[in-house]
Amino acid sequence: MSLDTDTLFRMLADPTRLRILMLLQSEGVLCVCELTHALNLSQPKISRHLAHLRESVLLLAERHGQWMYYRTDPALPEWAENILQQTLIGNANTEPFCNDHHILGNMSNRPGASCCA
């Protein structure tokens, strides 16, 4: 399945998915626990949105032990990567994006050798 413009903009239209994508665009790779902490949302809600993003071919998931890590697919078309990057640049200093990034940065138990429980 390849990404089309309709799918990308449907994914960006949901505020939670947009916040997830902006954090991933900024950070590269994040564990589900980091996303739940930064967005202050439940793990099932985050996981549901991550499933939509994976199904739309925007994200890749990788398991490390019991933890799942996500990143944007490096095989995204250049036009889609440009849209994500410009969205990040244009909104980095606006709410809720700057607050999400700040909360994530202040997470005391961010994953290293093991993820937070």
pLDDT for position 1: 60
pLDDT at position 112: 58
The pTM (predicted TM-score) of the whole model is: 0.92
pLDDT of residue 67: 84
Residue 33 has φ and ψ, to the nearest 5°, of -65, -35
Rounded-to-10 torsion of CA 87, 89, 92, 95: -30
Convert the pLDDT of each residue in 101-117 to its tens digit.
999 999 988 875 345 44
Separation between Cα atoms, residue 33 and residue 28, nearest integer Å: 15
What does the pLDDT look like over 5-22, one tens digit per residue? 999 999 999 999 999 999
pLDDT at residue 111 in the model? 76
- Domains (ranges, CATH) in the chain? 5-101 (1.10.10.10)
Q: How far is CA 66 from the centre of its chain?
A: 19
